[in-house]
Structure 1
Amino acid sequence: MAGAKFDSKSFNPQAFGAYTERIPNLKRNELIKSRALKGNQDIKNTFSSQTGTSYATLPMHGLIGGTAQNYDGETDLTSDSTDTFERGVVVVGRMKGWTERDFSEDITGGVSFMDNVAAQVNDYKADLDQLTIVKELEGIFAMTGKENKTFVDNHTSDITEVTATDKDGNVKNVVQADTLNTALQRASGDNKSKFTIAIMHSAVATNLENLKLLKYMTQTDSNGIERQLTLATWNGRLVLIDDSMPTEEVAAVEESGTKGESGYVAAQEAYTKYTTFALGDGAFDYEDIGAKVPYEMYRNPMKNGGEDTLFMRQRKVFAPYGISYTKKKQATNSPTDAELADGSNWELVNNGKTGQDKKVIDHKAIPIARIISRG
């Protein structure tokens, strides 16, 4: 494969697909190793066996529970049944093309063009997958409704307005030593140990570095030299640093009114809100559903003296545990990033009933949380 030409005459889509999967990608590999992404055979079977299926409602079994009765030889024993919850799952389809001229291998300094393209396609797809996850997370935390808000409120730790300082003089509206631990306990109680990964903006990571709370992993290369990786841990959780994490600019506020009187507004400088997401084991069910033609080549011998275009297509499922995609506002058979980020397209998994008969999953069982800070 090392000497393969990047043109439509010799292009083998199956071999190319297998080749890209062998190219290392730290983000994707570490995300999978963290166990935040978990395979789901039911999802795979549903979308693989039905031609054209892009959305499905799958059953999700409830847990047993209830208050135990007193076993005293006099009380009649009663029994409960588990509820079957309904979970909406959608396939996210994405595609892209790249065009290169015939002399492209010359301008890469003689580097095998197939190697170069394969490595970049793999990175591109990993970034694409991470963007899909982030957009889904944005949608999840934009949910409305009583039960959904219970999840949103308890799984959100917003410290942007906390202006107190700790014993060391650190301002508390930026991440501190106890920020992550407190947020995870608030979200999941005694299930907080399930959280294994945090995805954050570089500004947040820099604050953690300055506080010496971020520990970078190392790797020994082929020459026996230990090098620092871009991967780190925070309170034992793997950290992925990505500036595509959501940010919000807050405008400055001028002082108004008189101090001590009602209606007084203190001056405030402009600042940025940064969102950090924390995920636990099985936070997302993940399956690569596949496309009919995932990779394809097209050659135009006339344009620019001859050029080749590589087309990439993928169809994947990233289904958050305990949360259902409703498809209320989706225009086509694949949701856009904006539609994934729309809170009206998401709700907690429930039994499909209304009123007093409606039951939803316990929000503490969902290993997804977020921290909003000024850095």
Structure 2
Amino acid sequence: MPREGVFNGVVFDPNIFAGYMQEQSCLNTAIIQSGILVEDPIIKKALGSDGNVGTTPFFLPVDEEGDALNYDGKTNNVPSELKNSKQMFMAIGRQKAWKENTFVRYLSGKSPLQNLADHLVVPYWTFQWQQDLLAIIKGVLGVTEMKSHITDLSVASGSITDANKISLETPVDAGQKALGDKRKEFSLFICHSVIATRLLKLNIAEYRKFTVAGAVGEIELKCIGNMIILETDDGTVDSTTPNFPKYHSYMLGRGVILTATKTVDRPYYPDYDPETDGGIDKLYTKQARVFHPNGFSIKADNIATESPTREELATASNWELKFNHRNIRIAEIISNG
């Protein structure tokens, strides 16, 4: 039987803890403020309380149908049929549990599990979802049609020069290469701390104040042009060749990721084992959500289980482009610093 624990000085209640977790959003502030995520009611409704795979329809644009016909009294104005298509999405499910030997509390008077609930569980889940999002970005960028969305300045031998490093012009050029005249639609820049530091030293990046829902007062975020900078040293550097590290920076535009949370049974569940080692307190957590890159379909038949692993999300062959690539606001810059 589950045992009530202690959380924030009161008896642990899974519902209260769930509300606390929702208020503390397990998504990075920079990601939220940049607007790259859009809550999608179609995905939310399709998932409901059961199922983990679904499709969402979209209408194909008409800007590639050629020029308008001449209105001269002789040319027939034959209607073009409006077309639609669909893209497939899949929920990502993750789980993690922790335990505490109550003898530690007996000796120290302090609870590691209490500290986890108060300070650590939200950052943990924030990092996990950030890494899944990064894996998706890597996966879709590997699709053949997205080749022009990658700007590679790096070298693996010889010597590293300024030409191999990110500069003032690099994000602008990379944006134009990927989207043409839509290059200004990027709003988030994900990069390694080495890249962020270089941008600051070159006076390319600056701090700006933002008002974030739920925050007390304004917060400052680093920006480059119209993009908010999100620093993460995990998954943004390839050190296979130590003297020539390759730093991967990613540019994303507003609304590029459709998202929805999926209901899971008992997302936060306390339990107690009175037999082992004098008593063990446990906290089980589960979360599920969709991060769907708008304009792609995930090939659900390629996914081995009912939830894609991070490695599967990062595999290009598990994705299929559905939009014209010029409408995908994702780009990558690879540099040596």
Tell me how far 1:116 sits from its aligned partner: 4.6
Q: Displacement, 1:97?
A: 0.2
Q: 2: distance between equivalents of 1:46 and 1:329?
A: 21
1:121, distance to aligned residue in structure 2 (A): 1.3
Matched, 1:197 2:188: yes
User: In structure 2, what is the equivalent of residue 174 of structure 1?
Assistant: 165
Aligned to 1:16: 17
User: Matched residue of 1:57: which SS?
Assistant: strand
Q: Confirm or deny: 8 A CA contact 1:20 1:118 kept in the other structure.
A: no
Residues 111-133 of structure 1 show CA distances to partners (whole Å, capped at 9, x for unaligned) of 89646514311111111111111
Read off the aligned partner of 1:247 and give its amino acid letter. Answer: V
SS of aligned partner of 1:172: helix
Is the 1:245–1:276 Cα contact (8 Å) retained in structure 2?
Answer: no
* The 10-residue stretch of structure 1 (317-326 or 118-127) with the greater mean CA deviation from structure 2: 118-127
CA RMSD of aligned residues (A): 3.0
2:336 equivalent to 1:363? no
Equivalence for 1:281 = 254
Paired position in structure 1 for 2:227: 237
Structure 2 CA distance for aligned equivalents of residues 302 and 250 of structure 1: 48
Say yes or no: does 1:119 pair with 2:119: yes
8 Å CA contact retained: 1:105, 1:113: no
TM (norm. structure 1) is 0.78
Match of 1:341 among 296, 314, 319: 314
Distance 2:210 2:62 in 1: 45
Q: Give me the whole-angstrom Cα distance separating, in 1, the residues matched to 2:71 and 2:25.
A: 59
Q: CA deviation at 1:290?
A: 2.2
Distance (whole Å) between structure 1 residues aligned to residue 282 and residue 302 of structure 2 = 34
- Aligned pairs (5 A) from 1:159-308: 159-161=153-155, 171-217=162-208, 231-251=221-241, 270-308=243-281
Secondary structure of 1:16's counterpart equals helix
Once the 2 structures are TM-superposed, how far is the Cα of residue 194 of structure 1 from its aligned partner? 1.6
Query: How many residues get paired?
Result: 323
User: 1:136 — aligned with what?
Assistant: 136
Instruction: Please tell me whether the aligned partners of residues 23 and 118 of structure 1 are also in contact (alpha carbons under 8 angstroms).
Output: no
Q: 1:327 to 1:219 in 2, by over 3 A?
A: closer
Amino acid at match of 2:311: A
| 2:310 is equivalent to residue 310 of structure 1 | no
1:40-79 alignment runs, 5 A limit: 40-48=40-48, 51=50, 53-65=51-63, 66=65, 67-79=67-79
Cα pair 2:303 2:312 within 8 Å, conserved:
yes
Q: 1:18 corresponds to which letter in structure 2?
A: G
Label 1:82 to 1:284 Cα distance change in 2 as closer, same or farther (>3 A): same
* Structure 1 residues 74 and 219: CA distance shift in structure 2, 3 A: closer
Give the conservation status (yes or no) of the 8 Å contact 1:247–1:273: yes
Letter in 2 for 1:17: A
Q: Residues 156 and 241 of structure 2 are in contact (CA less than 8 Å); yes or no, is this contact kept in structure 1?
A: no
Counterparts of residues 85-96 of structure 1 (less than 5 Å): 85-96=85-96
Q: 1:272 to 1:5 in 2, by over 3 A?
A: same
Asked whether the equivalents of residues 200 and 275 of structure 1 are also in contact (C-alpha less than 8 Å), the reply is: yes
- In the aligned structure 2, how far is the partner of 1:202 from the partner of 1:334? 31
Q: CA deviation at 1:94?
A: 0.3
* Equivalent in the alignment of 1:330: 303
Residues 28-47 of structure 1: CA distance to partner in whole angstroms, max 9, x if unpaired? 23211211000111100000
Change (3 A) 1:211 1:45: same
Alignment partners' CA distance in 2, 1:101 and 1:200: 39
Q: Which amino acid aligns with 1:281?
A: R
Map Cα deviations across residues 270-315 of structure 1 (whole Å, 9 max, x no partner): 3011111111011100111121111111101232322211011011
Cα distance in 1 for residues equivalent to 2:111 and 2:24: 16
Q: Is the 8 A contact 1:196 1:237 kept in 2?
A: yes
Query: Percent of pairs identical after alignment?
Result: 28
Provide closer, same or farther for how the CA distance between residues 206 and 346 of structure 1 changes in structure 2, counting only shifts above 3 A.
same
CA contact (8 A) 2:261 2:290 kept: yes
Whether 1:154 and 2:148 are equivalent positions in the alignment is yes
Amino acid at match of 1:97: A
Structure 2 stretches lacking a partner, 5+ long:
212-216
Matching residue of 1:373: 335
Give distance in 2, aligned partners of 1:111 and 1:214. Answer: 42
Distance 1:60 1:371 in 2: 30
2-structure distance, mates of 1:10, 1:281: 41
Q: Which moved more, 1:301-310 or 1:340-349?
A: 301-310
